[in-house]
Amino acid sequence: MDPEIAKTQEERKRMEQELASLNATSVVYDRDLYGGSDKDSYLTSIPANEDDDNVDAMDNEVARKLASYTAPKSLLKEMPGSTGSDADAEMGFRKPSRIYDREDEYRRRRLNQVISPERHDAFAAGEKTPDPTVRTYADIMREEALKREKEETLKLIAKKKKEEEEAEKSAPEKDKAQKRRNRWDMSQDNEGAAKKAKASDWDMPDNAATPGKWDATPTPGRVIDATPGRRNRWDETPTPGRIVDSDATPAGGMTPGATPAGTWDATPKLPGMATPTPKRQRSRWDETPATMGSATPLPGATPAAGYTPGVTPVGGVELATPTPGALRGAITPEQYNLLRWERDIEERNRPLTDEELDAMFPQEGYKVLDPPASYVPIRTPARKLLATPTPLGTPLYQIPEENRGQQFDVPKEAPGGLPFMKPEDYQYFGALLNEEDEEELSPDEQKERKIMKLLLKVKNGTPPQRKTALRQLTDKAREFGAGPLFNRILPLLMQPTLEDQERHLLVKVIDRVLYKLDELVRPYVHKILVVIEPLLIDEDYYARVEGREIISNLSKAAGLATMIAAMRPDIDNIDEYVRNTTARAFSVVASALGIPALLPFLKAVCQSKKSWQARHTGIKIVQQIAILIGCAVLPHLRSLVEIIEHGLNDENQKVRTITALSLAALAEAAAPYGIESFDSVLKPLWKGIRQHRGKVLAAFLKAIGFIIPLMEALYASYYTKEVMIILIREFQSPDEEMKKIVLKVVKQCVSTEGVEADYIKSDILPEFFKNFWVRRMALDRRNYKQLVETTVEIANKVGVSDIVARIVEDLKDESEPYRRMVMETIEKVVTNLGASDIDSRLEELLIDGILYAFQEQTSDDANVMLNGFGAVVNSLGQRVKPYLPQICGTIKWRLNNKSAKVRQQAADLISRIAVVMKQCHEEQLMGHLGVVLYEYLGEEYPEVLGSILGALKSIVNVIGMTKMTPPIKDLLPRLTPILKNRHEKVQENCIDLVGRIADRGAEFVPAREWMRICFELLEMLKAHKKGIRRATVNTFGYIAKAIGPQDVLATLLNNLKVQERQNRVCTTVAIAIVAETCSPFTVLPALMNEYRVPELNVQNGVLKSLSFLFEYIGEMGKDYIYAVTPLLEDALMDRDLVHRQTAASAVKHMALGVAGLGCEDALVHLLNFVWPNIFETSPHVINAVMEAIEGMRVALGAAVVLNYCLQGLFHPARKVREVYWKIYNSLYIGAQDALVAAYPALEDEQSNVYSRPELMMFI
């Protein structure tokens, strides 16, 4: 290449870089909108609770157990969960997964939450006194307090009961002992005692002093509820699971001292009833359920929807009433199936009605008898309770009116083009099936129906249906109103059978609607939170992101005050789940509205005297904030630390723990800055580690581990020594969690500047290796990883030889996982620090150990042994020469092994050490290996074959084409058939090798062979992997260079006629590359001639080739621009859009290539052809056109393009103006300064000066 072009090329590169920074059309994501790119860091915040160990324990355990078996990895991975329906998954049709199925027990607790009714919106109400029917903040706080009190009372009672029982247990023993002695004398007393004991159970309820008694008493009917765990009022409503209970209750009702059966209200054991003692001080809300049954006489809205989920259409209001939501929430899919089945059976066995009987029997000859007076119709046990007449009516339950007219077995055809409904959906959308006349409905009902329809379309519809429905919901959000919308959407999200996709869609609906409703959402904030908060702890990353987005939008819409008012009551909720999710939600609010806004509130919460739960949650919020927003905590670090610091001395252990964890999170987020903010907590932390044990100590250590790296060297060293005593003591701890934390803290301390190597060697290493480098540590994957990391960190301080000498013997340990751990450590240490520190003795031991470990391995899925071997050999370099024959012997032996894995690994090892072999001048040995590998090219396992090709490639690379054995002329014909192999790994390695040979040693192979390879290569353009396609395209270039472009080009041009797009695109790239390698003038004539073929694909292919070609050749294009201009003229005037698009992109590349090289005349000419296309609407075309204009701006200067622009900026037609302003804007962004000189001279108007007199100045 002549130096001039090289120079211009260099200049062009520089200009391109400048351009890249300026170019307006390159799509750059706005950091303000989309946040920083550091989204990966979010992943660290998944843990749902503080100690989440077994993320992949299952995976790990299975892998461990199967370590001694060999099988393809895919098969091994399958084993644990190989439960049916795999065929679908394999085919790529993964069945939509229900969220419920993958959730753990803790996450399922979301279904226990209740969608609370709307709350008072103080902002909307203004000065007005809130309507008594609306729940205000005070109401809720009172309720929460009550709940808590109740819980505590229950706990106390349970405790007392237990004590009593224990006392009793010991008492009868005494009695018995006495009994045996004088049985008759004591009888009277005994009887009395027995009576008392018996009575105590049943008499208690009447004792008004212990109102909650019944909840804790193990009465027969309440087995399930016997645990005095968390219970709130909603749990007491009859859930399906409890039907059985209620059946049993009548029996309970008969028990001594009880009221006669039938007067239900009087029986204190009925689970559905409130506690017998009248509690008038309860808030209004608690009473609602009692009246609800009669208060909501809506058509079809039976409050007991939970009983007959598939049948009963649920009306609109039920959400405003609390119970059904809770009911529904509690239904598990299993229960669903049970219910469905039961319903089916009942349907078949239902008693026949009189009409049906009339229809069946002849009218005369039969007589209708009265049933016996004593007969009570009993159907199924589950119905027993329902069928018995209840004089007063159970307050929480109403017998559903059975609709005989409905068909149960066949899902009804959804009317009006609605999508298919799943059985679970009937509960929510059943009303749509009732073919009522829409005109007869009230406006509100019509609205409800409309919302339901749209939601159903969003949930189950086809993509186009979904899209329009979503848009309608968004557009009409304010018209529908917040209440009806959320009352419809939110219960759907609580549906236990919800799938990921459905949830995503519904969440999207909420997001859109939120945006529209803005401040109208205020009363519904808590409702929404109940549904969205669980997303924050979902295991799916995107679900978490979605949840965060919604909550952040919600807080922006509702405002801080409303958010706090909605979430404050949950902060000291008795349920840990609620507190956990609330803390996370609060952190999102903080990141959305700014930490300073939230600080006063947080401060108050963290100092709450009322309950430790509030303090715990408050501190947890700080932790979550730190995790969520990372280094953005820095400005507020001091205040955040001040808020939580007192928690280190809290009386409650959990609070102390979470405080330490929060400090750890803050320090981690702030690293490496902000040590001064932690000054105040240093003392309590370091004092704390001497006082505490167990979990608290672990948390304190963790905090210290994160704070030490922030310190200056001097302090870090001092504090490390302080903490090290404790750490070394805890080395022996049997607790896994503690072990992990200790390892981590050691790593952090050791890596800190100021901690000296001598100190580590003398004080830490002996104990460290004694306690941690044991086989057991290799068995748990997390321990394993942590130990390796820590050891590597220590090695960075104390050097290679110290560490390697200590563990090198263990390479011959009998436990394979342990050997692997040793190997991985050695690999990392040696890669980091090199092997110059290793003396000859250690070197011998090392190679010996590695060879042993390599040969003894049974499985190496993670390639630990292979990598370790490679790393050690590469770092030893020439020193490995004496061992090479032995190593090669091993490799050859293993290449011949029966197991495919072993052969593959051996081949892989060759490619790793080839460079070192060359350094050791073992060319003969390599030649020998080459021949061996050549012989194995018949390998049938594609994975192994790929590795063998890779090994051959590395040998060829190292020893060159001329010295290669077998000679290239023998090797290449052997590779041609392998190119047909469809396996990706084989293809990739083979094409790399072939490309290498074509590049460096093409002359060793006859041209005919290369042509044959060309044809094979065309097939490879179909490959899925981009790397393969790229290698193929490059190989075309090499081959063309070797044998001349004519034949290759002919092949490629023919290939433009194929149907497949990917193939054509790759071909065009190949043509461009051939043109670049063999100079454009060898290719252009044939290429332009091909444009005359009257076929769209071919012409477009030619244009695309031109586009790539001008992109690749850059300023070389100045010689060819005049040649191709007529062709481009034609293409830019073509009727076909794609022609114009591709030609425009060719023009762009041309313009950018020849900028400043004096081709303006041709470019202006082309611009005249490009310009009329600015009104195109197809996105690709308009994009290409805009980019062509941008290219022209660079090549011709902004002033020229501005002149084109001016004619349309104030055009009377808005459509025209819009386009012109868009062009103007991109022009402006690209060359703002250059435009100053080119702006038109505007005339002044009466009071406004538009002219620019400065430009008229002349000296």
Partner 1 sequence: MQASDRFNINSQLEHLQAKYVGTGHADMNRFEWAVNIQRDSYASYIGHYPLLSYFAVAENESIGRERYTFMQKMLLPCGLPPEREED
Interaction site with partner 1 (CB under 8 A): 24-25, 27-28, 30, 1177-1180, 1182-1183, 1186, 1209-1210, 1214, 1217-1218, 1221-1222, 1224-1226, 1228-1229, 1232-1233, 1235-1236, 1239, 1242, 1245, 1247-1250, 1252, 1254-1255, 1257-1259
DSSP code of 44?
G
The rounded distance, in Å, linking the Cα atoms of 1138 and 1135 is 9
> Are the C-beta atoms of residues 327 and 237 closer than 8 Å to each other?
yes
Q: Which is nearer to partner 1, 74 or 1247 (CB)?
A: 1247
State the Cα torsion 240-244-249-255 to the nearest 10°.
-160
> Are the C-beta atoms of residues 616 and 654 closer than 8 Å to each other?
yes
State the Cα torsion 675-676-679-680 to the nearest 10°.
-120
Q: Which residues of 866-883 are buried (b: 16+ CB within 10 A; e: fewer)?
A: bbbbbbbbbbbeebbeeb
Tokens of 1014: 């060309």
Tokens of 52: 């989440």
* Per-position DSSP letters for 138-193, written without gaps between them: HHHHHHHHHHHHHHHHHHHHHHHHHHHHHHHHHHHHHHHHHHHH-HHHHHHHHHHH
Q: How far is the CB of 1215 from partner 1 (least distance, A)?
A: 9
Q: How far is the CB of 1190 from partner 1 (least distance, A)?
A: 11
Q: Which is nearer to partner 1, 87 or 1259 (CB)?
A: 1259
Give long-range contacts, CB 8 A cutoff, 24+ apart: 684-693: 684/645, 684/648, 684/649, 685/648, 685/660, 686/719, 686/722, 686/723, 688/648, 688/656, 688/660, 689/723, 689/726, 690/726, 692/656
Q: How far is the CB of 1221 from partner 1 (least distance, A)?
A: 5
> Are the C-beta atoms of residues 526 and 119 closer than 8 Å to each other?
yes
At 998 the three-state DSSP class reads: helix
> Are the C-beta atoms of residues 1211 and 1220 closer than 8 Å to each other?
yes
Q: How far is the CB of 1183 from partner 1 (least distance, A)?
A: 6
Tokens of 1124: 């191709």
Q: Which is nearer to partner 1, 42 or 1228 (CB)?
A: 1228
> Are the C-beta atoms of residues 1198 and 1238 closer than 8 Å to each other?
yes
Q: Which is nearer to partner 1, 105 or 1243 (CB)?
A: 1243
Residues in the chain: 1259
* Per-position DSSP letters for 849-887, written without gaps between them: HHHHHHHH-S--TT-HHHHHHHHHHHHHGGGGGGGHHHH
Q: How far is the CB of 1137 from partner 1 (least distance, A)?
A: 11
Q: Which is nearer to partner 1, 359 or 1249 (CB)?
A: 1249
The rounded distance, in Å, linking the Cα atoms of 1189 and 1164 is 11
Q: How far is CA 764 from CA 709, 725, 756, in A?
A: 18, 10, 11
Q: Which is nearer to partner 1, 417 or 1179 (CB)?
A: 1179
Backbone φ and ψ of 230, nearest 5°: -75, 125
Q: Which is nearer to partner 1, 20 or 369 (CB)?
A: 20
Q: Which is nearer to partner 1, 21 or 133 (CB)?
A: 21
Give the Cα-Cα-Cα angle 992, 994, 997 (nearest 5 degrees). 110
At 499 the three-state DSSP class reads: strand
Q: How far is the CB of 35 from partner 1 (least distance, A)?
A: 15
Euclidean distance between the first and the last CA atom of the chain, given in angstroms as a whole number: 48
Q: How far is the CB of 1244 from partner 1 (least distance, A)?
A: 9
Q: How far is the CB of 1239 from partner 1 (least distance, A)?
A: 5
Q: Residue 108: which of 648, 689, 539 has the closest Cα?
A: 539
Q: How far is the CB of 1250 from partner 1 (least distance, A)?
A: 4
Count of other CB atoms within 10 angstroms of residue 922: 20
> Are the C-beta atoms of residues 1081 and 1044 closer than 8 Å to each other?
no
Q: How far is the CB of 146 from partner 1 (least distance, A)?
A: 51
Q: Which is nearer to partner 1, 46 or 1238 (CB)?
A: 1238
Count of other CB atoms within 10 angstroms of residue 748: 24
Q: How far is the CB of 464 from partner 1 (least distance, A)?
A: 11
Q: How far is the CB of 1096 from partner 1 (least distance, A)?
A: 17
Q: How far is the CB of 1188 from partner 1 (least distance, A)?
A: 15
Q: Which is nearer to partner 1, 4 or 1243 (CB)?
A: 1243
Tokens of 663: 């400090």
Q: How far is the CB of 478 from partner 1 (least distance, A)?
A: 23
At 121 the three-state DSSP class reads: coil
Burial of 1220 (0-12, 13-18, 19+ CB in 10 A): buried
Q: How far is the CB of 419 from partner 1 (least distance, A)?
A: 21
Q: Which is nearer to partner 1, 468 or 653 (CB)?
A: 468
Q: Which is nearer to partner 1, 1041 or 1217 (CB)?
A: 1217
Q: How far is the CB of 908 from partner 1 (least distance, A)?
A: 43
* Per-position DSSP letters for 412-459, written without gaps between them: PPPSTTPPP--GGGHHHHGGGGS---GGGS-HHHHHHHHHHHHHHHHH
Q: Which is nearer to partner 1, 260 or 1179 (CB)?
A: 1179
Q: Which is nearer to partner 1, 627 or 1181 (CB)?
A: 1181
* Per-position DSSP letters for 737-772, written without gaps between them: HHHHHHHHHHHHHHHSTT--HHHIIIIIHHHHHHHH
Q: How far is the CB of 286 from partner 1 (least distance, A)?
A: 50
Q: Which is nearer to partner 1, 281 or 1177 (CB)?
A: 1177
Q: Which is nearer to partner 1, 1022 or 1180 (CB)?
A: 1180
The dihedral sign for the CA sequence 400, 403, 408, 411: negative
Q: Which is nearer to partner 1, 398 or 1226 (CB)?
A: 1226
Q: Which is nearer to partner 1, 1039 or 1186 (CB)?
A: 1186
Q: How far is the CB of 397 from partner 1 (least distance, A)?
A: 49
> Are the C-beta atoms of residues 998 and 1038 closer than 8 Å to each other?
yes
